[in-house]
Chain A
Amino acid sequence: GENVEQHPSTLSVQEGDSAVIKCTYSDSASNYFPWYKQELGKRPQLIIDIRSNVGEKKDQRIAVTLNKTAKHFSLHITETQPEDSAVYFCAASLNSGGYQKVTFGTGTKLQVIP
């Protein structure tokens, strides 16, 4: 089955600096890669996603890149702000038999220091 590895597990940055979180996946059939942000005690919420036919996607301060050949994808947050502090999860997924099989990474706890 699919295996998703996520690094680092914790990340501290100064406010205004950039943060990068990296994930690798094992199943070349995976074709959809969402990123979720989870604040303490809250539900995971989608912040950006990318499909396998796209190499890069950007939404304001957040960008995601995908390298299908190497089977890795990354989340980039620029100009970090204290409200970016949260746990971030990457995921790799594919449609299988009418449902979406999603494998999540183990999460990165991002701390933005004011």
Chain B
Amino acid sequence: NAGVTQTPKFQVLKTGQSMTLQCAQDMNHNSMYWYRQDPGMGLRLIYYSASEGTTDKGEVPNGYNVSRLNKREFSLRLESAAPSQTSVYFCASNTPGQGKDTQYFGPGTRLTVL
């Protein structure tokens, strides 16, 4: 049972480049989330997927797109990276409302945009 996994662990991009962050969970959770973590600002929600086939914007969606590929996988895409997107990105999953409200986090992707 790997829990929540993310790839890559580290990435350096130049301004304007694109990339996709991958996330997968093997806990059969319905909901998946992408957060970014910046110093002094806690975790902020970028996008979420309440269930397979649905996605919606969170608090800070600008500059990002997501795809819920299937129940296990939820990817985050940066189409044209900007220095303001330098951050640590965490994926999380849970099944809210069934006594499984706890969100489990992946190990994170540290992204630097030059």
Instruction: Provide the bound-state CA to CA distance between A107 and B94, in Å.
Output: 22
Task: Pick the interface stretch among B18-26, B41-49, B77-85.
Answer: B41-49
Query: Beyond A42-B107, A43-B108, A99-B31, is A49–B102 a contact (Cβ under 8 Å)?
Result: yes
Contact A43 B105, beta carbon cutoff 8 Å: yes
A-B contact count (CB 8 A): 59
Contact B101 A32, beta carbon cutoff 8 Å: yes
Determine the interface band of chain A, counting residues with CB < 8 A from chain B: 20 to 34
* B contact residues, total (Cβ < 8 Å): 27
Contact A100 B42, beta carbon cutoff 8 Å: no
Where chain A touches its partner, the secondary structure class is: strand
Task: Pick the interface stretch among A59-67, A74-82, A90-98.
Answer: A90-98
Decide if A102 is an interface residue (CB 8 Å cutoff).
yes
Shortest Cβ distance from B104 into A: residue: A46
Query: Beyond A43-B106, A98-B96, is A89–B101 a contact (Cβ under 8 Å)?
Result: no
Instruction: Provide the bound-state CA to CA distance between A46 and B4, in Å.
Output: 14
Decide if B103 is an interface residue (CB 8 Å cutoff).
yes
Which residues on the B side are within 8 Å of A28 (C-beta)?
A: none
Interface residues of A (CB under 8 A from B): 6, 9, 32, 34, 42-46, 49, 89, 93, 95, 97-100, 102, 104-107
